[in-house]
Amino acid sequence: MVLLTALGTGALLLGRVRLASQVPWAGIRAAVQLLLISYVVGWAVSSPAWAFALVGVMFIVGVVTTSRRVGLDSPRSFAAAALSMAAGAVPVLVIIFGSGAAPLNGAAIIPLAGILVGNVMTAHTLFARHALADLGSQFDLYEARLALGFHRQVAIREVVRDAVPEALIPALDQTRTAGLVTLPGAYIGVLLGGGSPLQAGAAQVLVLVGVLAGQPLTALVARELMSLGWLLPRRVESQLHS
């Protein structure tokens, strides 16, 4: 770990990149966080209830993280971010555990739900940042649609519609290249846990398809909530609805 940290930091120092000092601190922070969460996970796997409680905490952290990334600054916008993420995560988890594709125990709930929450958070962040950038750069098109008689909700939706596919590209690329360019985390995890390559492959396909189902739901719900004016920073909301 020391050698790898030194390698990454040294490369940035040679390249005179200002982020060089952040690499060792990021590594230390990750080590401390994972050490602490390892103790928590060891306790939470004892029952499905505690496992879902831990996932709930992870979900809240995800909502706060994406809200900060996007610049959301009102209770309603925080609630909209949470609703968007839940729209992507909850149906997928219901199908996975309700169908029996994964056992309803802590050892399965925590990694599967954790991966899904992280991915819907990423989709929400990518969509919202891209959509807000479009609203800023295409404000004249928004005003033109209003002048033509379009409702504000429709005008906003038309401006931000291209942000949905942009938010899904990383997950689509990861799924297309799985096993060819990379071996994703769930696959490696099952192998390291003693599972067979076929079991690892089955687990990874379940995760990838779950992400592909959850992220579009999150992005589409976020689009609708943004068009309603809920998923907007106060500054942007006042500009669009003035």
pLDDT of 32-50, one tens digit each? 988 988 888 888 888 899 9
pLDDT of 165-194, one tens digit each? 999 998 888 888 877 776 667 777 777 777
Which pLDDT band holds residue 242 (cuts at 50, 70, 90)? Answer: low
What is the predicted pLDDT for the residue at 37?
85
Please give the model's pTM, rounded to 2 decimal places: 0.85
Question: CATH second-level architecture of 47-240?
Answer: Up-down Bundle (1.20)
Q: Where are the domains of the chain?
A: 1-44, 47-240
Instruction: Tell me the CA distances in angstroms from 108 to 60, 111, 117, 189, one per residue in order.
Output: 20, 6, 14, 12
Q: Is the pLDDT of residue 149 over 80?
A: yes
